[in-house]
Chains A and B, each alone.
Chain A
Amino acid sequence: MENSIVLSIMAAAIIAGTPLLYAALGEILAERSGVLNLGVEGMMLAGAVSGFMVTVMSGNNWLGLIFAILAGGFMALIHAFLCVTLKANQVVSGLALTIFGTGVSGYLGKSLIGIPAPVTFEKIPIPVLAKIPVLGPVLFNHDALVYISYILVPLIWFFLYRTNAGLKLRSVGENPAAADAVGVNVFLTRYVYVIVGGMLAGIGGAYLSLAYAPTWLEHMTAGRGWIAVALVIFAVWDPVRALIGAYIFGGVDALGFRLQAMGIMIPSFFLKMLPYIFTIVVLILATRETHKKRVGAPGSLTLPYDREER
């Protein structure tokens, strides 16, 4: 009995961690190119609302997912244009993206409030694997988007550390002038990965409205975009560590929810504070550790690249 509660919390941690994981993976790619995008929250909201809207209109959640990807990518394109081409302040542009995303999703989503999703990403137990004790119910009894994220993490890891394109990406983020000198197109690279990052955030948002909730609520991300940005720092810009971090955060989320459902005597408001306080604590610990080990952010993060100022 006790055992099954633990298993179900672990499975819930993976579900709650999945939107964070997608968003954090996207932010890792963008930041690896040297562009900080604090608009994750806004891009997730754009993804959540457009994914949900298209699913309601078409009755096809995969089509919804595609539009969520497009919406996240489009939002990121605005950020890339402002920060890469026009060299605007990356922090403020990201904040603008979040404010705009909150507004536009609330505007578009108004008529969608209260409608249940006609189709959602349903659980697909993987044959054989789902039967493994402990691991099966925790890892292999989820929806397709969870499985895709399992594949995405090693893929992005391999891409970053074992391919030529990944090396170029990292070099642009560390030292754009040097990358430029050996013929890497700094501007194009930054555009591409900021947009890919936005697309992944869009999937994270759609996961909330099409699998996790599954419905549309105004500002339903509730700070998850910011938690994803914090996760990137915790993960030291590494996709595998991002996976671990996302599931830990998902676990805190799931635990609070579970305690609430069990009628624990702590008021629900305090349980809802847990993920935010946890984020702050983890961020402080992670920052201390990165300082100690002298690892850290990509060298050119938040600095626009200007060929003239080499």
Chain B
Amino acid sequence: MSVPQIAKKEQGFRVTLEKRGTTPYLIHFLVPVSSVVAALLVGAIFLKATGHSPLEIYAMMFNGAFGSMYGISETIVKAIPLMLTGLGVSIAFRMLLWNIGAEGQLYMGAFAASWVALFAPDMPGYIMLPLMFIAGFLGGALWGLLPAIPRAFLGVNETITTLMLNYVAILWVDYLVYGPWKDPKGFNFPLTAPFRDSASLPTFGNSRVHLGLLFALAAVVIVYVLLKHTRWGYEIRIIGESQNAARYAGMNIGKNILLVMLLSGGLAGLAGMAEVSGITHRLQHGISSGYGYTAIIIAWLSKLNPWAIIIVSFLFGGLLVGGFSIQTSGLPSATVFMLQGLILFFVLGGEILTRYRIKLQRGRK
């Protein structure tokens, strides 16, 4: 079908890559799974080299995340913001809009929802929570819209602007919780006064798993339907495949950039609302453990497929919970980001197998 393209001579064998016409379904599943395994192996070498026992640490992580009902419920708790931000990022990525501002959009959603919770008059939960929901969505959506405007009208690189706005959003929340919104009874900690009960999302049983789980799952279904079964979803997919084709077909790319960033930011904003309303019950410093960045990996590992995002978010939630449980043995929380980065490297590298077939030939070169 095609000429060998990259050839390496190795011990009398020749490794050649051949372009695939079609990709077997199994490959789409095997590549991400083996990428994770390979990343864990490299991570193990790294842990070993720095004087830790990789087996012990991985066992500790696995036990922490999946070894008990408590662990599993905490993993689900972490999966909620990951699903929402991951979905948001994946919609933007589908249009080749590199929104890496989910972290800041989450913070602005949390800020807006907290503003409602703290300053709205007392009202029953069935009014308060929907208001916070709307505020959270809008907070994130508008923060996503901000970099979308120069992108749509002037072509300003959105990667840099969305990322810069993360720092601004985090500093803004820090300003509030260290300053005007600080709880006078909070012993000087950077947090606001606790929300009223009406502003807290109900939880399932006596776990910390809250109603945000249903938002996240509903968001998956909605995004799937939007992308697969609406004209708008069709436009997003076409623009992602080829901007020129979309333009010839008369699609309004600028308008779609604005809409996609609104939705993408809004979903991240909902994650922020769910965190303050379901978990912390107040706005505080550091409400996100890098969910917005992990979302990038989740989106890519899921191949931007909304259903896959559920599973991958659950696994990455487990990675975060496992990361907390190894901190007792003196390993920093950064270990988890190291592993996340490695996973993304291998997923990216493994993608070549979905496009090319590797052939091993007895060599004469």
| Interface segment out of the listed A136-144, A154-162, A205-213, A284-292 | A284-292
Q: Write out the residue numbers on chain A whose beta carbons fall within 8 Å of the beta carbon of B341.
A: 42, 96-97, 99-104
Q: How near does chain B come to A271, taking the closest CB pair, in angstroms?
A: 9
Majority SS at the chain B contact face: helix
Question: Is B224 an interface residue when CB atoms closer than 8 A count as contact?
Answer: no
Q: How near does chain A come to B149, taking the closest CB pair, in angstroms?
A: 10
Which of chain B's residues has its CB closest to A96's CB? Answer: B344
> Which of A102, A104, A233, A267 makes the CB contact (< 8 A) with B157?
A233
Mark out the residues of chain B between 156 and 202 whose CB falls within 8 Å of any chain A CB in the assembled complex: 156-157, 159-161, 163-165, 167-168, 171-172, 174-175, 178-179
Q: When A308-B5, A308-B19 are in contact, do A103 and B335 touch as well, CB less than 8 Å?
A: yes
A38 to B157, CA, bound (A): 12
Which of chain B's residues has its CB closest to A270's CB? Answer: B175
Q: Write out the residue numbers on chain A whose beta carbons fall within 8 Å of the beta carbon of B160.
A: 226, 229-230, 233, 279-280, 283
Contact indicator per residue, chain B 344-355, by CB within 8 Å of chain A (1) or not (0): 110011011001
Interface size on A, residues (CB 8 A): 52
A222 to B166, CA, bound (A): 11
In the complex, the number of residue pairs spanning A and B with C-beta atoms less than 8 Å apart equals 148
Mark out the residues of chain A between 70 and 98 whose CB falls within 8 Å of any chain B CB in the assembled complex: 78, 81-82, 85-89, 91-93, 95-97
Inter-chain contact B334/A102, CB cutoff 8 Å: yes
Contact indicator per residue, chain B 4-31, by CB within 8 Å of chain A (1) or not (0): 0110000000000001000000000000
Q: Write out the residue numbers on chain A whose beta carbons fall within 8 Å of the beta carbon of B171.
A: 269-270, 272-273
Q: Write out the residue numbers on chain B whose beta carbons fall within 8 Å of the beta carbon of A97.
A: 341
A222 to B167, CA, bound (A): 8
Interface size on B, residues (CB 8 A): 52
A307 to B19, CA, bound (A): 12
Q: How near does chain B come to A38, taking the closest CB pair, in angstroms?
A: 6
Q: Which residue, A96, A277, A291, has most C-beta atoms of chain B within 10 A? A: A96
A296 to B185, CA, bound (A): 55
A82 to B163, CA, bound (A): 23
Inter-chain contact A82/B340, CB cutoff 8 Å: no
A135 to B165, CA, bound (A): 36
Which of chain B's residues has its CB closest to A90's CB? Answer: B348
Q: When A272-B171, A291-B154 are in contact, do A106 and B352 touch as well, CB less than 8 Å?
A: no
A78 to B3, CA, bound (A): 26
Q: Write out the residue numbers on chain A whose beta carbons fall within 8 Å of the beta carbon of B332.
A: 106-107, 110, 218
A280 to B149, CA, bound (A): 12
Q: How near does chain A come to B353, taking the closest CB pair, in angstroms?
A: 10
| Interface segment out of the listed B105-113, B124-132, B292-300 | B292-300
Inter-chain contact B164/A280, CB cutoff 8 Å: yes
Which of chain B's residues has its CB closest to A286's CB? Answer: B156
Question: Is A108 an interface residue when CB atoms closer than 8 A count as contact?
Answer: yes
Q: Write out the residue numbers on chain B whose beta carbons fall within 8 Å of the beta carbon of A104.
A: 46, 334, 338, 341
A308 to B159, CA, bound (A): 30
Inter-chain contact B334/A287, CB cutoff 8 Å: no
Inter-chain contact B337/A287, CB cutoff 8 Å: no
Question: Is B230 an interface residue when CB atoms closer than 8 A count as contact?
Answer: no
Question: Is B333 an interface residue when CB atoms closer than 8 A count as contact?
Answer: yes
Q: Write out the residue numbers on chain B whose beta carbons fall within 8 Å of the beta carbon of A88.
A: 348-349, 351-352
Question: Is A62 an interface residue when CB atoms closer than 8 A count as contact?
Answer: no
A239 to B293, CA, bound (A): 31
Question: Is B50 an interface residue when CB atoms closer than 8 A count as contact?
Answer: yes
Inter-chain contact B159/A91, CB cutoff 8 Å: yes
Which of chain B's residues has its CB closest to A42's CB? Answer: B341
A284 to B19, CA, bound (A): 40
Question: Is A306 an interface residue when CB atoms closer than 8 A count as contact?
Answer: yes
Q: Write out the residue numbers on chain B whose beta carbons fall within 8 Å of the beta carbon of A78.
A: 345
Q: Which residue, A78, A81, A95, A270, has most C-beta atoms of chain B within 10 A? A: A95
Inter-chain contact A218/B334, CB cutoff 8 Å: yes
Q: Which 4 A-B pairs have the closest CB atoms?
A: A100-B341, A106-B334, A103-B337, A103-B338
Interface contacts beyond A88-B348, A95-B296, A104-B341: sample of 6 additional A-B pairs, CB < 8 Å, sorted by A: A86-B351, A92-B348, A110-B334, A223-B167, A230-B160, A287-B156
User: Could you show 20 A-B contacts with beta carbons less than 8 Å apart?
Assistant: A86-B349, A88-B351, A91-B159, A95-B296, A96-B341, A100-B337, A100-B340, A103-B334, A103-B337, A106-B332, A107-B50, A218-B334, A229-B160, A269-B178, A277-B168, A279-B160, A284-B150, A287-B150, A287-B155, A291-B155
